[in-house]
Structure 1
Amino acid sequence: MDENIDRTLDATGLNCPMPLLKTKQALAEMNSGERLHVMATDPGSWRDLDSFVALSGHAFASREERDGLFHYVLIKG
């Protein structure tokens, strides 16, 4: 996991569309270039965040699934 994290968002236990909405809210409060680590348990978050990043100008530094927990590190565009 990336060590250069500026903020962490725990979206575990939240169902679609809440992980995406919470991610959008967190990124709105951050500066360009900062990194957000999102943790989620909703499998739909993989698709939702993939679509969001493709359309938003933000980028993935990494993303992975480990034992049912999804980890995303996004870089604010």
Structure 2
Amino acid sequence: MTKSDAVYDLKGLNCPLPVLKAKKRLAGMHPGSRLWIETTDPLAVIDIPAFCSDAGHQLIETAAVSGGHRFLVERGEPRS
């Protein structure tokens, strides 16, 4: 993780909140910027990659951590 990568703590939230909050946060970021998403929701391992694919963001890294998961997402170009 680099200092330029923001961390968004979504631990304790359950589906669909992690995806909805990540979507809103990423919408306010510049294309190419990266966001670490931390979650304890077990469904996030399905939901976050699907959201990235649907929204045009790139899932750079996924890691299982104690009690949850971390996802590094790179903001894609806005879709028209």
Same fold per superposition (TM over 0.5): yes
Residue identity opposite 2:52 in structure 1: V
Give distance in 2, aligned partners of 1:35 and 1:4.
11
Q: How many pairs does the alignment contain?
A: 76
* 8 A contact 1:19–1:40 mirrored in 2: yes
Pair 25,39 (structure 1): closer, same or farther in 2 beyond 3 Å: same
Pair 26,37 (structure 1): closer, same or farther in 2 beyond 3 Å: same
Matched, 1:63 2:62: yes
Pair 56,8 (structure 1): closer, same or farther in 2 beyond 3 Å: same
Give distance in 2, aligned partners of 1:28 and 1:54.
15
Give distance in 1, aligned partners of 2:14 and 2:66.
17
Give distance in 2, aligned partners of 1:40 and 1:28.
19
TM-score by length of 1: 0.90
Percent identity between matched residues is 34
SS at match of 1:71: strand
Q: Could you tell me which runs of 5 or more consecutive residues in structure 1 were left unpaired when the two chains were aligned.
A: none
Q: What are the Cα deviations for residues 22-42 of structure 1, in whole angstroms up to 9, with x where unaligned?
A: 100110110000000110000
Aligned to 1:3: 2
Aligned to 2:21: 22
